[in-house]
Amino acid sequence: MAEDNKIKAEQIKAEANSLFAEKRFSDAIEKYTAAIDLNPVSTYYSNRAFCHLKLENYGYAITDAESALELDPALTKANYRRATANMALGKFKEALKDLRVVSKRAPGDKDAKAKLDECAKIVKRIEFEKAIEADNDIPSVADSLDITTINVEDSYEGPRINEETNEIDADFVNHMVQQFKDQKKLHKKYAFMILLAVRKMMMEAPSLIDIPVPKDGKLTVCGDVHGQFYDFINIFTFNGYPSSNHAYLFNGDFVDRGSFSLEVILTLFAYKCLFPDRLFLARGNHETDNMNKVYGFEGEVKAKYSDMMFKLFSETFNALPLAHVIEHKILVVHGGLFSRDDVTLDDIRKIDRLALRQPPNDGLMCELLWSDPQPELGRGASKRGVGVQFGPDVTKNFLERNNLDMLIRSHEVKEDGYVIEHDGKCVTVFSAPNYW
């Protein structure tokens, strides 16, 4: 019987591998789980950990990697996958330990060596910044940046902001969008000007913003777009561009993964300048330094512009609001609800996101950005290793306590772009097609 189980498990693993190749990661997880039930070997756990990484289920990925290493301490892939998950969670010292093991065992692996070097630099930088903060606050890029010293070359043929008025008008935004469609860069001076204008607006905004639906108009809520510029622009092409009677709320995760995150976020920020009361932006878990280091936005900004530009993006992301309430009845947040039953909208309003800067590993701000719904009642440990999973009863109680009708959130890939759960009270919206 044991031998039959091994054979059957190998067959199921092969099915799981095929599903993984098709980027059907949730289906692959089910198959790897079935194989583990028949024959719990290290490679099955390691493969399932890889699937969880793809789905950003970092907590589950770490657990599976550790199970694999308990069975086979020499399984280097498991070390690498645990390191990747820890890096995404900002646990760079833990990741560094595993990456050193990987590099020692596979000295010729250039990708592992590059990730080791990157992680080591991040650890050193964090320690340096802590030392600076102990004596004084880290100086703001926004406060030190003098836009007037940046010259725009005569040879530049892209859109220009009128420097007498500093007004970002419709002609500039339309020209900029076309510039991005043609895969051309916006001049750094104008990128800085957009960033500084949006940062100022966000610094003055509360952590929770009440928004109305335009009279005789509509409001569209969009989920993650993750740097997919052309798919993002298609939202406007098919659904209408932001205007005085068509408001948009983009619910976080504008950047990372896709190759055109910079173009997406600059377009959103430019429309925010053009329609400050019709274009709303919420912070997602990817508008954070740790995720930007691991999933590409930091590298993209540095390659296309500069380290200073990325630091200004980081400061601007720190100022993004955390939640919106539509017409006093629908709460919109990136992740989800809380580990406590007594949270009110006023508690969200009181979150001092400007002081916190980067989301902590627990508490209300963390849970707003990281939590996920679950079908079971009550709460469960987060599959991501941070935040919580909350059931339909938690959603119902929160909405009743705060006199709300519905929760809209994003944060998870959905094949049809959305899913309705918790007796119609919790809607997930995801707006990045062809995500994998």
Q: 13: part of which helix (H) or strand (E)?
A: helix 2-21
What's the pLDDT tens digit per position in 1-32? 688 999 999 999 999 999 999 999 999 999 99
Q: What percent of the chain has pLDDT over 90?
A: 89
What's the pLDDT tens digit per position in 206-220? 999 999 999 999 999
pLDDT of residue 93: 94
Contact 51, 433 (CB under 8 A): no
The architecture CATH gives domain 2-134: Alpha Horseshoe (1.25)
Q: Which of 286, 324, 334, 411 is catalytic?
A: 286
Contact 82, 65 (CB under 8 A): yes
Q: What is the mean pLDDT of residues 407-419?
A: 95
Whether 286 is catalytic: yes
Q: What is the mean pLDDT of residues 41-66?
A: 97
Contact 423, 392 (CB under 8 A): yes
Q: What is the mean pLDDT of residues 159-184?
A: 94
Comparing CA positions, the residue from 138, 362, 176, 364 lying closest to residue 269 is 176
What's the pLDDT tens digit per position in 125-154? 888 777 766 555 678 999 999 999 999 999
**CATH code 1.25.40.10 region(s) in the chain:** 2-134
Which SS3 state, helix, strand or coil, does residue 167 take?
A: strand
Comparing CA positions, the residue from 256, 255, 239 lying closest to residue 247 is 239
Per-residue pLDDT band at 434 (split at 50, 70, 90)? confident
pLDDT of residue 135: 54
Q: What is the mean pLDDT of residues 386-392?
A: 97
The CATH superfamily holding the domain 148-429 is Metallo-dependent phosphatases (3.60.21.10)
pLDDT of residue 139: 81
Comparing CA positions, the residue from 379, 378, 359 lying closest to residue 369 is 359
Number of Cβ atoms within 10 Å of the Cβ of 175: 15
Contact 331, 345 (CB under 8 A): yes
What's the pLDDT tens digit per position in 66-93? 999 999 999 999 999 999 999 999 999 9
One-letter identity of residue 135: D
What's the pLDDT tens digit per position in 300-350? 999 999 999 999 999 999 999 999 999 999 999 999 999 999 999 999 999
Q: What is the mean pLDDT of the chain?
A: 95
Comparing CA positions, the residue from 98, 103, 72 lying closest to residue 87 is 98
**CATH code 3.60.21.10 region(s) in the chain:** 148-429
One-letter identity of residue 82: R
pLDDT above 90: residue 191:
yes
